[in-house]
Structure formats: C-alpha cells, structure tokens
Chains A and B, each alone.
Chain A
Amino acid sequence: MTPIPHKTTHASRTAGLTYILKKSLLSALVALVLFSLMVGVRTEAGSDGQLTYWTRFGEVAALVAGVFGGSIVIELLRQWIGPAGAEKLVPPAVQSGMSFVGRYLAPALLIFTLLVPVIFYNQRYILDLAILVLTYVMLGWGLNVVVGLAGLLDLGYVAFYAVGAYSYALLATNFGWSFWVCLPLAGILAAFWGVLLGFPVLRLRGDYLAIVTLAFGEIIRLVIINWQSLTGGPNGVPGIPRPSFFGIPLDNSDDGLAAKLGIEYSPTHRIVFLFYLILALALLTNWVTIRLRRLPIGRAWEALREDEVACRALGINTTTTKLTAFATGAMFGGFAGAFFATRQGFISPESFTFQESALVLAIVVLGGMGSQLGVALAALAMIGGFELFRGLETYRMLVFGMAMVLIMIWRPRGLIGHRAPTVYLTKAQAISSDLVKEGHG
C-alpha cells in the first residue's frame, strides 16, 4: 500500500466544504418542511370542542438550526474519523500506542476476568452480570465459527442454545444424570441438530440461507412449546439440578463443599463456581476456534466464506466443510445452553426467542466477523452496556440503535476488523484493516 500523498487530502477537504454545506442545507430544508407542520402549527380541541391552533415558529427555527448544525458536525466527524480518513489523520504515535494496547488488551482482559470474583465477591449483581456477559461471549464465539469464519449467515442460532438447554434439563430431571455427563451430551445433540440444519441449506447462501435458518430457529421453539408431554410446553422445565463441584454439591449440607473444606457456607460460592465454569467453557470455545483456524479445516471455512467455486477447484469438499462449521458452532451453542439451564434452574421457551439469535448475531457483527477479541468486547458492550443504560428504560433501545449505526458507519468491519493471518513465512506481519479498504482488488 502506498501512502496517499497529502496534496490529495487537502484538495478533497476543500472540495468537501461546499459539499458539507450543501448537504446540511438540504437536511435543514427537509427538516423545515417536516417541522413546519408537525411542530410549527399546534392544534388542539378547545374547551367547547372547537378547533384551536397557534403557531410556534420559534421552535421550528431552533429545530431547523439544530439539524443544520448537527449535520455539519456529523459530516465533519465522518470525514475526520470515518474509514476513508483513518490512516491519514491518526498520528503515528497514536497508532503505535494503539497497537501496543492491542497486543496487551486480550491478556489484560483475561487476567481481569479471572479476578472478577475476587474483586466483586460481595457484589452479587456484578457477578451475575459477569456470568451473563460470559454466556454471551461464549455464544458469540460459537456463532463466530459459523458466521465469522465460514460466512454462513445463521439467524437461528438460538435453536442450538435451546437444544443444549433442554438436553441437560430433560436428562437431568428425568434420569438424574449429572451436569458433567450431560454437558458433552448436550453438545453432541446440538451438533447433531446443526448437521440436520446444514443438510437442507447446503446449496443456499446469503439471504436465502438466513431465511431458512431463521425458520429453523422458530421450528425448534414451536416444537418445544407444543410437545407438552416431553418439554412441558410453555410451562417449561422446573427444578433443574444445580451443578456440583465434580460430584460434591455446593450447598449448606454436611456433604457440601463448604463443609468439606471447613469454611463457612455462603451462597456466593455457587455463583463464583458458575462464573469460573462459564469462563472455562468460553475459553475452551476460544481455544478450539483458534486451534481450528490454523488447521486445514479452519482455513477451508474461511476460504469458503471468500469463494466457494475456488474452494471446489482446490479440492475442498464444500459439503463436509459447511457441515462441520454448522456442527462446531452448534456444539458450542449447546454447551452454553446446558450451562444456561443449570444456572437458571428453570427454562421455558420464552428464553429462546428470535431476539436472542439477533442479539448474538449483533455481537458477532459488531465485534468484527472472525475476531475473537472483537466478539468478546462486543458482548461486554452489548450486554454490559444494556444493563448500564437500564435507567434510560425504553430509550435504551434507541441508544443501542444509534450506537450500532455509528459503529457501522465508522467501523464497517466491526470493532476489531483486523484478521490475524494463520500462515507465516518468517515473522508474523499483520495487515491492519485500516490499510485495506472494503471491496477487493
């Protein structure tokens, strides 16, 4: 990549000024037309039922001026921070600083996460929230295999989450099997359903695939609701056993872990245990994904995302490649589902609506498709942020909508669009996404 000479930057910026003014004037004009009737004339029913109205031109003027100024600010921001201007305006010192942060961010986050139960031991709310965030990190990492690596847009990921949750719930309540036996079973069952979904959609891509996976998610949920004799229908499955510490229950009894260790029992022990359990599961997902990416199968997933015809010509069996991607992603979804069931102690179809699929997909897209760290950060931002803005009540959806639009404008590849290569010649050389434009040569 040759750096773009500064001359062009200046030229485009001065040319941009008239463009900005034009665009802002246009926005102001649209605002004037809209607001002159919506705000400018106020009508109300008078005391005797007759129509009374009065004008509010002051407010209209203020709103139009606001739109004009606001659109200038937005355009300026877009030119300065936007993807087109990123490499021109970020000074090298800041860039090297960012790469330093980038290198140590993941380990620092991991250490912090490990210490969360120690730091926030007495804050049950934060621990619960952290467990929730980690669940979504794991779901995001699982879906990342399907969407981020293999490029198969899956809108029904919650189906596998549900399969995992119900697998554990039903096996544990009906047969009394322990969590540690059911966990792999839940994963296997979910993977099985992943393959089942995979077969009919082998020839589909993009929008068509999205629609079928969306339908699949709904089918699973509807089956769960209607198969009352097995799943309890809308009433859900109550009384799901809590996980034990490898056979030792985490309760107040004489065989409990607290009694065995000779420490005083506290309900927080179980929360801390759950925290480390989901952390371990999430890290397992991450580790497996990172390992797979360096193996031929992982590279084949990514190549499949890029060009299916070329893959076939190179001797890749696209059928098995797609099915393994669906199965792997589904398996992690199943693990997360089993964890969800044991944590909640009660599950019902309400927990597995399309909204969950959309949320997990948003996490993956927002984080940067294929980026493990990006997905983790996005899960933290989405779930943690959602809690943070709880005070805003109904407006928090508005805040999130806006945040997502802004991120997609400024970082169309997601928070971390950088993709680490998996094959090296001599030394690792990463090409930042900032240096590479969307749309390929």
Chain B
Amino acid sequence: MTSASTPLLAIRSLRAAYGKIEALKGVDVEINAGEIVALIGANGAGKSTLMMTIFGKPRARAGQILYEGRDITDVPTHEIAHLRIAQSPEGRRIFPRMSVAENLQMGADATGCTDSERDATLARVFSLFPRLKERYAQRGGTLSGGEQQMLAIGRALMSRPRLLLLDEPSLGLAPLIARQIFDAIRTLNRQDGLTVLIVEQNANHALKLAHRGYVMVNGLITLAGTGAELLQRPEIRAAYLEGGRHG
C-alpha cells in the first residue's frame, strides 16, 4: 500500500515526442491517493499526450512514471489497465456497434474480476448513471453524446480502478450534462475514494472540482496549486485562453 508520503502517481521530468515534435518537455506531476487533480491548458499543450504517455502510447523518451512507487514507464500498454489504472480516452471512443452492456463488460473483461465483483461494480455504475441502465440493450452508437461520455466513464469504472484518467469529459456536451458528469466524478471521489486525473479545457469547471491543478503550456507545467488558488490567479485565464503565447 501507498504510504502518506508516496504519491499514487508521480511523473518525473517526463519527455515524449511524436517523431521530431516534442510534445512533453520535462513534465513533473504528482497525484496523491484520494485526490482529484486537474490538468488544464490550451489545445496542443500536451495534456492528452501526458495522459497517453502514462499508458505507454507514445512511449516516454526520458523521465519516469511511478505508480505506487513502482516504475511503470516501460510497462506494455495493455498491462497498465491491470494495475488498476483506467482511462476514459479523448473523444469517448466507446464501441458504437456493441450494446451498452457489452461496452461495460469490455471494461470488466480485461481485468478479470469475479461475477459478483462485476455485478457490484455494475450496480455502482448504474447508481451513478441511471441512464445507462435504461439504455442497457441499446447500441453504443445510438446514445447521445452525454450518454456516450457516461458510458465511457462507466466502462473505465468496470475495471475497478484506483486511479481514473479522464480526458476532456465535458467535450461537446451541453452545460447541464457536463455538470452531471462532474457531479458523478465528485461523488466517486468522495464516496469511493477514487483518485482522478482530469484533463480539461473547461478550466473553470475542472478547477472548481479539483483539489489541485496543473497548468500546462507548450509541453511544460507552468503553474501548480490548489484548485481555488489557481482560479484566483489572474494569469490563469490568460494562460488558458491564450495558450501557447503565454508560456
């Protein structure tokens, strides 16, 4: 188990690149167990790359990713999920021609839980997102955007993660639906003790939800602090709105 001093996930001077284009230029991020951490920044700042690099796609060029103190920088992508890290990728990426039930089952399949564990997790997912229960037999592709996002999160939860990585959960959603999603994340954190790393462009929302936040500009972390602190900084909105030019 993690002691109070070791963070659940520690990222140390992480570098990653797509070919010659360096997307992460030495990133340091720490996520403690039980926290919600928000990562904000403009388009192309490297937020999603950081998320993907934790999952080993792309592989880190330098630096370390430590999970519960263990170096997972070179662990194959498909084994990361077995470490009880789950991801809801950018653009939701649910399986459109498979039913909601099958989508959720896919989350449970890979980590190999018992039937009773699966049913308990399923019940939890349904209590968070009752809409998914209504749509259980429907094809994933026929769901609305908000429902698909719920499904993507629900699918990630089915692997019973300790750390949940959410990439732009509010992308393209109506404000009311986005609020429902954020509420569900808060509930998961408070009631189930789930640790969450949330990547968002919607800085206002994300920082209100998060305990701590990081601001990313051009592949570097430029600011860090508690959510409330960051919200008060005047340069936050500028950094968020103007993105790359500010760094």
Interface residues of A (CB under 8 A from B): 1, 296, 299-300, 302-303, 305-307, 309-310, 312-318, 419, 421-425, 429-431, 435-436, 440-441
Contacts and interface: CB of A to CB of B under 8 A. Distances in A.
A357 B102 CA distance: 31
Interface stretch (B14-22, B31-39, B103-111, B192-200): B103-111
Contact of A300 (B57, B81, B109): B109
A299 B99 CA distance: 11
A57 B110 CA distance: 71
Given A421-B98, A423-B102, A440-B96, A314 B107 contact: yes
B95 A312 contact: no
Contacts of B143: 441
Given A431-B138, A441-B143, A441-B144, A310 B95 contact: yes
Interface in B96-128: 96-99, 101-102, 104-107, 109-111
29 contacts: A296-B109, A299-B102, A299-B109, A303-B98, A306-B97, A309-B57, A310-B89, A310-B95, A312-B55, A312-B57, A314-B81, A314-B159, A315-B78, A315-B111, A316-B78, A316-B110, A317-B78, A318-B78, A419-B97, A423-B104, A424-B101, A425-B137, A429-B137, A431-B137, A440-B97, A440-B141, A440-B142, A441-B141, A441-B144
A63 B155 CA distance: 59
Contacts of B246: none
A313 B106 contact: no
B80 interface: yes
B139 interface: yes
A429 B86 CA distance: 29
B98 A306 contact: yes
A429 B138 CA distance: 8
B103 to A, nearest CB: 8
A423 B145 contact: no
A315 B101 contact: no
Contact of A312 (B77, B140, B159): B77
Interface in B185-238: none
B82 interface: yes
A368 to B, nearest CB: 12
Interface of A is mostly: loop
A314 B139 contact: no
A48 B44 CA distance: 79
Contacts of A300: 106, 109
B80 A315 contact: yes
A309 B159 CA distance: 16
A306 B98 CA distance: 8
Interface in B132-165: 133, 136-145, 148, 155-156, 159
Contacts of B136: 425, 429
A98 B98 CA distance: 23
B79 interface: yes
List the 5 closest pairs (A to B, CB-CB), nearest first. A315-B81, A440-B141, A315-B110, A440-B96, A429-B137
B94 interface: yes
Contacts of B79: 315
B139 A436 contact: yes
B70 interface: no
Contacts of B109: 296, 299-300, 314, 316
Nearest to A302: B98
B49 interface: no
Contacts of B101: 421, 423-425
Given A421-B101, A431-B138, A303 B78 contact: no
Contact of B110 (A306, A314, A440): A314
B148 to A, nearest CB: 6
A265 B246 CA distance: 92
Contacts of A310: 89, 93-95
Interface string B173-185: 0000000000000
Nearest to B104: A423
A305 B143 CA distance: 19
Nearest to A429: B137
B159 to A, nearest CB: 7
B99 A421 contact: yes
B199 to A, nearest CB: 14
Contact of B95 (A307, A317, A424, A430): A307
